[in-house]
Chains A and B, each alone.
Chain A
Amino acid sequence: MNNKTIKNKTNIKALNGGYAMAEALRQIHPDVMAVYPITPQTTIIETYAKMKADGLVTTEIIQTESEHSAMSATIGACSAGARAVTASSSQGLLHMAETLPVVSGLGLPIVMCVSSRALSAPLNIHGEHGDVMAIRDFGWVQIFSEQAQDAYDNTIIALRLAEMAGVPVMPIMDGFHTSHTTERVEVLEDEIVASFVGERQAENALTDQENPVTIGTLALQNTYFDFKIDQEKNMQKTKTLYKKICAEYGKISGRKHGLFEAYKMKDAENVIVMMGATAGTVKDTVDALRAEGKKVGLLKINLFRPFPYREVGAELSHAKNIAVLDRAMAFGSFPPLFQDILTSMQSAGSKKHDIASYIYGIGGRDTMQAHIEKVFKDLEDGEISNKIKYLQ
C-alpha cells in the first residue's frame, strides 16, 4: 500500500547513464563538486554544471587544473564537513590515483561517479573496466551498474552507504554502453531522495572549531599497521550495511538491488559470472538457450569491493561449469574477477569446479550474443582450459 503510493509519484524519463547519475546527484544536492572538465571526463559533470547554471542546485562547483586537484579539493571540502562529490573516468581516474588511498585512509564519505573506460596507450577512451580495476584495492567501495536505471539507483545508495559507513564509494557504469545510451529511467521524487539520504552529520569536521582534531596524522611503524587493519575491518562492515541500505532503497523504489543478481540460477548447470552493462546481452542469451532446454544462468556481481566471497561461493556451489567474464586486461596474471571467483569457491568450502576465464569488450569492442553462446557452448562441451580466452 505504502509502496504503491510512492510508485505513483515516480517520474519516468528517457535519460542516458551520465544524465541519470547527474540527476541522482541533483537530488542528493551535495555542497561541493570539484571537477576537471576535460576529456576523458564523463557527461555527468557537464549535465550537473548545466543544472547549476539553470539554478536547480546551489552546489559549489570547483573547476580545478587536473583530476589530481579535483580529488584533492574534494578531500578538503569533505574534511571540512561538507557533502562533497566528484566524477571521473579512464586516464583522469588514474591521475587521481595518488589521492584515492588518502580518501579511504581518512574514512571520508566521498562519492565519485565513474564511467569506466580504457587506458592509454594506444589511445582509446571507450568502455571497459581497466581503469576501475587498476585502483580496486585502494579502500573504495565499488558498485557496478548494468543499465542507466542502476546508475541512478547506485548513486543514491552510494551516498547513503558512504556517509553511514565512513568509506568512499564509487558507483561505476560502463563507459558509453551505459553512460551514453538513452533509456527509460524511473526517477524518484526529490523529497523522497532527500529524506532517504538526509543531511550529512560530519564527525570530526575541520570547521568545528570547538572540537579541534588532527586529520592525516603521522603514523609510524608502531601504529600504521594497526590503522590499516582497522580500515579493513571497517571495509568488511560495509557489506552488511550495503545490504541493509539496498533493502531500504527497495522499499522506496520498488527495485531490487544487492550483492549480486542471480539470473535463472536455481537449476543452472553452466553459469556465466560477470559485471556491468553486458549482463543485459547475457540475460537475452540465457533466455534464448533456456528456450532450447539448456540449463544456463548468469550471476551478475554488483558489489565488487568489498567482494562478497562467501555469498558468491554459496550461490555458485551447485553449478557444474563456470565461466568468468572480465572486461579488463591483467598483464602477466589472470584477470581480477576470475581470481575473486576462485577465492569465492575456496571460501565457500566448495568442491572442485571447472572455472574458465574469458576477457571481453576491451577498448569498446562489441560483445554479441554469438560470443556469449560460444562461452556457454564451451561450458557445455567441457572445453575448459587453464588459459584465458578472448571474446574478440
Chain B
Amino acid sequence: MKLNKNTFEIIFFARGGQGAKTASELIAHAAVREGKFVKAFPFFGPERSGAPTKMFLRVSDKEIRTQEPVTDPDVVVVLDETVMDSQDVAKNLDQHEVLIVNSTNDKETIRKRVPHFEGSIHAVDGNGISADIIGKPNPNMVLIGHLIKISEIVSLESAAEIFREVFTEKIGKDLTEKNIKAMEAGYDSL
C-alpha cells in the first residue's frame, strides 16, 4: 500500500557515470517548471564511476514533505541491466506498475530475472538508439523519453526546454539537439 497516494514515485537504478542523476534532475526541473513539487535525491552511498547507484524521484501537485527513501515506487527505470544481478529492482512493484529496462533482450527474457513481478515490462534499447542518434551509448535520455511517455509526469516539451537551457552552453547546440532527439526516440519507442 502506498503511503503517499498523491505522489508519483520513481527509482532509477544505474551505475555511476550513466547519467541517472542528470535524468532524474531533468525531470525534477521540468516538473517544477510546470508548477509541481518534487524531491530528487541519490541513494547516499559512496560515489565512484561504475558502482551501482540509485536515484529517487518524487513528483506531486502538492508539497512533498517526507525525507524517506522511495521504497514502494510506481515506476522503476533500470539504466544498466547488470545491476539486476545483485538487486531486486522490482521490489514492491505491483501488477499495475511498470519496470523500464535498458536492454536489447525481449520482455520475456527480462521477466525471468524478476519472476515475482506481475506488472508490465518495457524493454528499450537505450544504448543502441543513443549510439545511432548521439553517436555514443548514453541510455539516459532515451529512457527518460520513454518514462515521460508512459508516466506523463511532465511534458516532452518542458523536458526538452530545460535540457536546452542547461546543456546548450555546456555541450554545444548540435549535441544538445541530438540528445533531445534521443529523448524523443525513447518517447516514440513503444
Decide yes or no whether A176 CB sits under 8 A from chain B: yes
Task: Determine which of A126, A182, A277 lies in contact with B67 in the assembled complex, contact meaning CB atoms within 8 Å.
Answer: A277
The segment from A29-37, A340-348, A360-368 that touches chain B is A360-368
The segment from A153-161, A279-287, A307-315 that touches chain B is A279-287
The answer to whether A367 touches B37 (Cβ under 8 A) is no
The answer to whether A281 touches B66 (Cβ under 8 A) is yes
The answer to whether A126 touches B38 (Cβ under 8 A) is no
The answer to whether A184 touches B37 (Cβ under 8 A) is yes
Assuming the contacts A280-B66, A284-B66, asked whether A183 and B39 have C-beta atoms less than 8 A apart, the reply is yes
The segment from B25-33, B116-124, B141-149 that touches chain A is B25-33
Instruction: Report which residue of B3, B33, B68 has the largest number of chain A beta carbons within 10 angstroms of its beta carbon.
Output: B68
Decide yes or no whether B65 CB sits under 8 A from chain A: yes
User: What residues on B are CB-neighbors of A184 within 8 Å?
Assistant: 32, 36-38
Question: How far is it, in angstroms, between the C-alpha of A24 and the C-alpha of B35 when the chains are bound?
Answer: 22
User: What residues on A are CB-neighbors of B64 within 8 Å?
Assistant: 183, 280
The answer to whether A284 touches B40 (Cβ under 8 A) is no
The answer to whether A182 touches B66 (Cβ under 8 A) is no
The answer to whether B41 touches A176 (Cβ under 8 A) is yes
Decide yes or no whether B69 CB sits under 8 A from chain A: yes
User: What residues on B are CB-neighbors of A79 within 8 Å?
Assistant: none
The answer to whether B41 touches A366 (Cβ under 8 A) is no
The answer to whether B40 touches A280 (Cβ under 8 A) is no
Task: Determine which of B4, B41, B65, B71 lies in contact with A182 in the assembled complex, contact meaning CB atoms within 8 Å.
Answer: B41
The answer to whether B67 touches A281 (Cβ under 8 A) is yes
Decide yes or no whether A12 CB sits under 8 A from chain B: yes
Q: Which of B57-104 contact A (CB under 8 A)?
A: 64-69, 71
The answer to whether B41 touches A369 (Cβ under 8 A) is no
User: What residues on B are CB-neighbors of A147 within 8 Å?
Assistant: 65
Assuming the contacts A12-B32, A14-B28, A284-B4, asked whether A182 and B68 have C-beta atoms less than 8 A apart, the reply is no
Task: Determine which of B4, B25, B41 lies in contact with A14 in the assembled complex, contact meaning CB atoms within 8 Å.
Answer: B25
Q: Which of A118-157 contact B (CB under 8 A)?
A: 126-127, 147
Least CB distance, A9 to chain B, in whole angstroms = 17
The answer to whether A180 touches B68 (Cβ under 8 A) is no
Task: Determine which of B40, B42, B67 lies in contact with A278 in the assembled complex, contact meaning CB atoms within 8 Å.
Answer: B67
The answer to whether A176 touches B25 (Cβ under 8 A) is no
A368's nearest neighbour on chain B, judged by CB, is B68
Cβ proximity bits A270-308 to B, threshold 8 Å, 1 near / 0 not: 000000011011011000100000000000000000000
> Which range contains the number of A residues in contact with the other chain?
20 to 34
The answer to whether B41 touches A180 (Cβ under 8 A) is yes
User: What residues on A are CB-neighbors of B38 within 8 Å?
Assistant: 14, 182-184
B40's nearest neighbour on chain A, judged by CB, is A182
Question: How far is it, in angstroms, between the C-alpha of A288 and the C-alpha of B66 when the chains are bound?
Answer: 12
User: What residues on A are CB-neighbors of B67 within 8 Å?
Assistant: 174, 177, 181, 277-278, 280-281, 367
Assuming the contacts A13-B32, A14-B29, A14-B32, asked whether A281 and B65 have C-beta atoms less than 8 A apart, the reply is yes
Instruction: Report which residue of A14, A126, A183, A281 has the largest number of chain B beta carbons within 10 angstroms of its beta carbon.
Output: A14
Interface residues of A, dominant DSSP: mixed
Cβ proximity bits B136-173 to A, threshold 8 Å, 1 near / 0 not: 00000000000000000000000000000000000000
Task: Determine which of B3, B29, B37, B40 lies in contact with A181 in the assembled complex, contact meaning CB atoms within 8 Å.
Answer: B40
> Which range contains the number of B residues in contact with the other chain?
20 to 34
User: What residues on B are CB-neighbors of A281 within 8 Å?
Assistant: 65-68
User: What residues on B are CB-neighbors of A127 within 8 Å?
Assistant: 44
A366's nearest neighbour on chain B, judged by CB, is B69
Assuming the contacts A281-B65, A367-B68, A369-B66, asked whether A182 and B44 have C-beta atoms less than 8 A apart, the reply is no
Assuming the contacts A181-B40, A183-B39, A184-B38, asked whether A283 and B32 have C-beta atoms less than 8 A apart, the reply is no
B37's nearest neighbour on chain A, judged by CB, is A184
Task: Determine which of B3, B42, B69, B71 lies in contact with A180 in the assembled complex, contact meaning CB atoms within 8 Å.
Answer: B42
Question: How far is it, in angstroms, between the C-alpha of A277 and the C-alpha of B68 when the chains are bound?
Answer: 10
The answer to whether A369 touches B68 (Cβ under 8 A) is yes
Question: How far is it, in angstroms, between the C-alpha of A176 and the C-alpha of B41 when the chains are bound?
Answer: 8
Least CB distance, A173 to chain B, in whole angstroms = 12
Question: How far is it, in angstroms, between the C-alpha of A369 and the C-alpha of B28 when the chains are bound?
Answer: 24
Instruction: Report which residue of B31, B41, B42 has the largest number of chain A beta carbons within 10 angstroms of its beta carbon.
Output: B41
Cβ proximity bits A244-284 to B, threshold 8 Å, 1 near / 0 not: 00000000000000000000000000000000011011011
Question: How far is it, in angstroms, between the C-alpha of A126 and the C-alpha of B36 when the chains are bound?
Answer: 28
The answer to whether A369 touches B65 (Cβ under 8 A) is no
Q: Which of A58-115 contact B (CB under 8 A)?
A: none
User: What residues on B are CB-neighbors of A183 within 8 Å?
Assistant: 37-40, 64
B32's nearest neighbour on chain A, judged by CB, is A14
The answer to whether A364 touches B44 (Cβ under 8 A) is yes
* Contacts beyond the supplied A183-B40, A281-B65, A367-B68: 5 A-B pairs with Cβ under 8 Å: A14-B31, A14-B40, A127-B44, A182-B25, A184-B38
27 interchain pairs, CB-CB under 8 A: A12-B32, A14-B33, A14-B40, A127-B44, A147-B65, A174-B67, A176-B41, A177-B67, A181-B39, A181-B41, A182-B25, A182-B41, A183-B37, A183-B38, A183-B64, A184-B37, A184-B38, A280-B65, A281-B65, A281-B66, A284-B3, A284-B65, A364-B44, A366-B68, A366-B69, A368-B71, A369-B68
Closest 7 CB pairs of A and B: A280-B65, A14-B32, A181-B41, A182-B40, A14-B29, A176-B44, A281-B66
Residues of B within 8 A of A (CB): 3-4, 25, 28-29, 31-33, 35-42, 44, 64-69, 71
